[in-house]
Amino acid sequence: MTSTFDNHAARYSDEVQSSISFSGLRHDFFLQAKVDVLARTLRRNFGAAPPGTALDIGCGVGLLHPYIEPLFGKLTGADISAASIEQAQRLSPSVAYSMMGESLPYDDGAFDVTLTVCVLHHVPPERWDSFTREMRRVTRPGGLVCVIEHNPFNPLTQLAISRCSFDADAVLLRASKTRELLRKAGAKKITTEFFLTLPARGGFFGRLGRLAGRLPIGAQYLTAARA
């Protein structure tokens, strides 16, 4: 399997920045917002003890990894783009990276947490079921499957997608669709938190944004479920 992302690996960060430049915010802000929602979800599910092993599926050039590596005992990344994996490995030498195909090169229940961030909308819809089934398969029973996706109901998300050079193939998933996929994959206790509702992480507006986490208005959402 090859990936069109091989052609975007070298300029991935610049291309994302250019698609969101209308917001006046830096890409770091969006990365940090993902880390915040992931950290909250992990705390809700595992308490203060950090989960041991995590797999980031479709990790790309690994821009999230310097931020999320401290949340886990051991982080592994997998992608179908060799050029992206090479770049990720240079950025985070202590993360283990593997190429993947339609199935994941890991044993059943190998990870406490599996994560996929802004990947499913690039996977052809007829393969969504097998993708989420594979995610659940490599997550240990009682472990956590986490999907971060764009919210198609948010107009600014739609604008960013329309301006992004590698999103021409994107088929956005409503949170209800992502929940359905995880349910069909056999996962349980499914929750969704919408985030990036307001352009603030802290203070009054940060708190207000978190309070609105159940409303489908944030630019992105995290759906989590127990394997």
Ligand X SMILES: C[S@@+](CC[C@H](N)C(=O)[O-])C[C@H]1O[C@@H](n2cnc3c(N)ncnc32)[C@H](O)[C@@H]1O
Q: Footprint of ligand X on this chain (CB under 6 A)? A: 3, 5, 57-60, 63-64, 79-81, 84, 100, 117-119, 122-123
Nearer to ligand X, 119 or 227 (CB): 119
Nearer to ligand X, 3 or 178 (CB): 3
Q: How far is the CB of 100 from ligand X (least distance, A)?
A: 6
Nearer to ligand X, 102 or 188 (CB): 102
Strands 220-226 and 188-195: antiparallel
Q: How far is the CB of 142 from ligand X (least distance, A)?
A: 24
Residue closest to ligand X (Cβ): 60
Nearer to ligand X, 2 or 176 (CB): 2
Question: Which tokens go with 216?
Answer: 């489908």
Q: For CA atoms 185, 172, 102, 62, give the dihedral sign.
A: negative
Q: How far is the CB of 94 from ligand X (least distance, A)?
A: 18
Q: If residue 54 lies in a helix (H) or strand (E), which one and from where to where?
A: strand 53-57
Distance CA 227, CA 69 (A): 22
Q: Are 40 and 144 in contact (CB under 8 A)?
A: no
Q: How far is the CB of 186 from ligand X (least distance, A)?
A: 20
Distance CA 145, CA 142 (A): 10
Question: Which tokens go with 39?
Answer: 């950290």
Nearer to ligand X, 20 or 117 (CB): 117
Q: For CA atoms 43, 153, 9, 3, give the dihedral sign.
A: positive
Question: Which tokens go with 51?
Answer: 């989960």
Q: How far is the CB of 135 from ligand X (least distance, A)?
A: 10
Q: How far is the CB of 176 from ligand X (least distance, A)?
A: 22
Nearer to ligand X, 79 or 193 (CB): 79
Query: What residues contact residue 137 under an 8 Å CB cut-off, 6+ apart?
Result: 104, 108, 109
**In which region does residue 109 sit, left (phi positive, over 0), alpha (psi from -120 to 50) or beta (all else)?**
left
